[in-house]
Structures are given as structure tokens and as C-alpha cells.
């Protein structure tokens, strides 16, 4: 790691302890981006040296802002499998389809990639307490990794957080504050408490280190498909951190010569909450009039990382599409029945987006596509039973 630069004005910024935005811009959306000495990385991280590394995301240590010690090296995170899904590809009208199943991370979502970086960074700074505000996966993931690392965690959740995710927080032993208010209020309270008590702030959108963890998904896609990379990579988008990470990972591997061609990246939002898809067309953020979606993990009307998301998707010649809640539930069923992968609604949105992009002529029907399954379906049981209905009750 060399410097941090502002994605808005490009100024070099001093490394913040945890969360922090540009000191010059005075704009909450002016987030910082970690830079690396790519010549040094290229000399040390080669397809040969990678062969000897642990099968988790620390194998990419040169491209991470924290250096794992011996203990962290054993944390199980990343290197999730890629599953070929020919019947689902056929259904969606794509040439071929692969699913990267990130629901197989320790707390069953993509967020573990960021949380593992957060707890290691917090430990290395001597912090004993870490906090975040979240409605779901970021919180349960932080609680899980705080337990792995032996840190205290305080989590602020809004009143309407889904039950299975709250159960995860409680069993991992986090100190859970259910704020009797909105997500925005929980977020502001968390920021204030971190400042007051000196806690490490995991809030991903404004912590420049965490997106580097999300980047490892892109690094893995590159390594796992190196000789035959997909034409497109589809990712569901809420705050925009995940897709920004995936794009950065793919781009860096391409730059290092470890990925033959750079895939185009497709951002997928829900029709009811699509501020980043709109900003991709208009270059301005509209936070008004969003009606919501059943996919709680991407129900983000005020996305903090929209600028980074829009810029990095454009850099890959990518695009955005929006899908309805009906398309999302259909994709949940299809992903399970035609590929054997149980995806939570937000994750299934990426699959629905592939079908939508083919229908709109964005993805050519001959193309190869990889969709990132960002969370496991057991995260939202009530929703699943509503879709499937009850089993057949019979007498023995």
C-alpha cells in the first residue's frame, strides 16, 4: 500500500485510523481509494507464488491494506467455489453461466470479505472494540469475525432488521442496540459513539480499507477463470461498495497480467430502489421517491458509495439494469431448482439481472456470464416460505 487518494478531487490523503472521507472536498461521498506499488506487487504475486498460498483471501496479501499475521492466515474467508450452471444459463438466454457462491463464507455472505479486513486492521491498531450500523449481513458478519478475533463488538440495528440476521448477532455475542428508529438514525448514532469512545468504525462505505476486502472477490474470479474469463460479471448493488470492490479486483489482476481480458461488469438494482442505476445514466444522485424492495440487503435509497460504483462500472464498459421484486423471486426459485444454489433475494437479483440484460440486448446471447451469489437463502426464511408455500401435510 502506498497512498490514499480522493475519488472526487484526486488529492492524496493521510491514512485514516478507520472510517474517513476526503479532508479537502468536504463531501460525504468523497471516499478514499487505496493505492499500491503495482511494480512491487507484480514482482511478488505471480501465478507461481500464488500456487503456494493458503486457500483463503489472504493469499492476495500484497494487494491488501493489512498484512495478515499467522493467526489471521487461518481465518476461513473467501476462495468460494464457482459453479457451472448450464440449465440456468439456458433459461436466462445466456451462452453460459457460472455462479460464484459467496453464501459459503463463514457467516454466509460476501460481507465476510470486508469484516475480516476490519477486525484485523482494528487489532493491529490496538483497538479492543469495533462497531457498525447495519440492517443485516454487514452486522452479522462483523459479529462473527469479532468473535473469531476476540474483539468486543457493538452493533446498531434499526427496529425492522430481519430475524435470522438478528439471531446471528446474538449467538456471536455482540452487544446489540436495536434503535427505535430508522437506519439513518442508527448510522448517525454509531458514528457518534465511535468518535466518543474511540471504537473502530466498520461502516464500509466510508472506511477505505474494507472495500479492499470486497476486492478479493474480483481477484478470485480472475484467478479462478484466468485462461477463460467470462464476458460479463453480474453483481447486486445497494451502497455500491461490493461492485466497486469486484471491479477493482478484476482491474488490478488485468493490470498485473494475471487475467487475459477484463470482463464487463453489470450492476443490478431493484426497480423500487435504483439510485445508482439512475446515476449511471444522469451522473447525479436522486435519493427521492424510492418505494423499496423485498431484497433487504440492497434496499439502500441513499447509497454512500455511488460515485465509486458508477466510475468503476464505466471503466469496464459495463452497464446497469433494474429488476422487479417478481423477477427476484422467480430468480430465487430458478437458481435453486436449476443450479442447486440457495440465494437470498439480493443475491438472486444478480441472476435476475442477467436475464434482464439479455432481454434488453445489453448482454449478447452468446456471452459467458458469471453472477456473484452474495448471500445465502437461509438469511430470509419467512420470505422463502412465502414463495414456496407449505409442504404437503399428510397422515402416515
What's the rounded Cα separation, in Å, for the pair 141 and 137? 6
Among 6, 66, 210, 250, binds Zn ion (CB under 5 A): 6
Reported residue count of the chain is 396
Among 112, 223, 239, 299, binds ligand PLP (CB under 6 A): 239
358 to 62, 234, 319, 353, 369: CA distances (angstroms):
37, 12, 12, 9, 11
Residues forming beta bridges with residue 155, ordered by sequence position: 132, 176
Return the range that interacts with ligand PLP (CB under 6 A); candidates 71-79, 184-192, 235-243, 331-339.
235-243
Task: Give the one entry of Zn ion, ligand PLP, none that residue 240 binds, where binding means its C-beta sits below a cut-off of 5 to 8 angstroms depending on kind.
Answer: ligand PLP
Question: Could you tell me the three cell numbers for 66?
Answer: 493489512
| Site membership for ligand PLP, residue 132 (CB under 6 A) | no
118 within 8 A of 141, measured Cβ to Cβ: no
| Site membership for Zn ion, residue 311 (CB under 5 A) | no
Give me the least distance between CB of 198 and ligand PLP, in Å please.
26
| Site membership for Zn ion, residue 9 (CB under 5 A) | yes
| Site membership for ligand PLP, residue 273 (CB under 6 A) | no
Other beta carbons less than 10 A from residue 342's beta carbon: 20
| Site membership for ligand PLP, residue 158 (CB under 6 A) | no
In this complex, which beta carbon is closest to ligand PLP, that of residue 139 or of residue 153?
139
Give me the least distance between CB of 257 and ligand PLP, in Å please.
28
Report 133-152 residues binding ligand PLP (CB under 6 A).
Answer: 137
| Site membership for ligand PLP, residue 240 (CB under 6 A) | yes
| Site membership for ligand PLP, residue 162 (CB under 6 A) | no
Half-sphere exposure of 295 (CA within 13 A, CB side): 36
Residues forming beta bridges with residue 201, ordered by sequence position: 131
| Site membership for Zn ion, residue 12 (CB under 5 A) | no
Other beta carbons less than 10 A from residue 132's beta carbon: 33
Return the range that interacts with ligand PLP (CB under 6 A); candidates 3-11, 32-40, 296-304, 360-368.
296-304
Give me the least distance between CB of 241 and ligand PLP, in Å please.
3
Among 1, 24, 38, 387, binds Zn ion (CB under 5 A): 24
Amino acid at each position: 500500500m502506498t497512498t490514499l487518494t480522493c475519488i472526487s478531487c484526486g488529492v492524496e490523503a493521510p491514512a485514516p485510523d478507520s472510517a474517513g472521507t476526503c479532508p479537502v472536498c468536504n463531501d460525504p461521498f468523497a471516499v478514499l481509494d487505496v493505492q499500491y506499488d503495482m511494480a512491487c506487487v507484480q514482482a511478488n504475486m505471480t501465478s507461481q507464488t500464488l500456487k503456494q498460498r493458503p486457500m483463503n483471501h489472504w493469499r492476495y496479501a500484497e494487494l491488501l491494506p493489512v498484512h495478515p499475521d499467522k493467526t489471521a492466515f487461518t481465518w476461513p474467508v473467501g476462495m468460494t467455489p464457482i459453479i457451472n450452471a448450464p440449465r440456468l444459463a439456458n433459461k436466462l438466454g445466456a451462452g453460459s453461466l457460472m455462479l460464484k457462491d459467496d453464501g459459503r463464507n463463514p457467516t454466509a455472505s460476501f460481507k465476510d470479505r470486508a469484516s475480516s479486513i476490519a477486525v484485523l486492521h482494528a487489532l493491529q491498531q490496538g483497538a479492543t472494540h469495533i462497531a457498525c450500523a447495519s440492517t443485516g449481513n454487514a452486522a452479522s458478519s462483523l459479529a462473527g469475525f469479532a468473535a473469531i478475533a476476540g474483539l468486543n463488538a457493538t452493533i446498531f440495528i434499526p427496529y425492522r432488521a430481519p430475524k435470522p440476521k438478528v439471531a446471528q448477532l446474538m449467538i456471536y455475542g455482540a452487544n446489540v442496540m436495536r434503535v427505535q428508529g430508522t437506519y439513518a438514525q442508527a448510522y448517525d448514532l454509531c458514528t457518534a459513539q465511535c468518535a466518543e469512545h474511540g471504537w473502530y468504525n466498520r461502516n464500509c462505505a466510508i472506511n477505505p480499507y474494507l472495500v479492499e476486502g470486497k476486492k478479493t472477490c474480483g481477484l478470485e474470479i480472475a484467478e479462478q477463470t484466468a485462461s477463460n474469463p467470462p464476458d460479463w460479471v453480474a453483481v447486486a448493488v445497494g451502497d455500491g461498495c461490493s461492485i466497486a470492490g469486484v471491479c477493482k479486483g478484476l482491474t488490478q489482476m488485468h493490470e498485473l497480467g494475471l487475467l487475459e481480458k477484463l470482463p464487463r461488469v453489470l450492476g443490478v438494482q431493484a426497480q423500487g430502489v435504483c439510485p445508482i442505476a439512475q446515476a449511471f445514466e444522469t451522473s447525479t444522485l436522486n435519493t427521492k421517491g424510492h418505494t423499496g424492495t423485498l431484497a433487504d440487503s440492497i434496499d439502500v435509497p441513499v447509497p454512500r458509495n455511488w460515485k465509486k460504483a458508477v466510475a468503476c462500472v464505466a471503466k469496464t464498459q459495463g452497464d446497469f439494469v433494474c429488476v422487479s421484486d417478481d423477477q427476484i423471486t422467480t430468480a430465487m426459485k430458478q437458481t435453486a431448482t436449476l443450479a442447486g444454489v440457495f440465494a437470498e433475494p439480493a443475491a438472486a437479483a444478480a441472476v435476475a439481472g442477467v436475464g434482464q440484460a439479455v432481454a434488453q440486448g445489453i448482454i449478447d446471447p452468446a456471452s459467458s456470464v458469471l453472477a456473484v451469489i452474495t448471500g445465502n437463502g437461509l438469511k430470509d426464511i419467512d420470505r422463502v416460505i412465502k414463495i414456496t408455500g407449505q409442504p404437503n401435510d399428510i397422515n402416515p
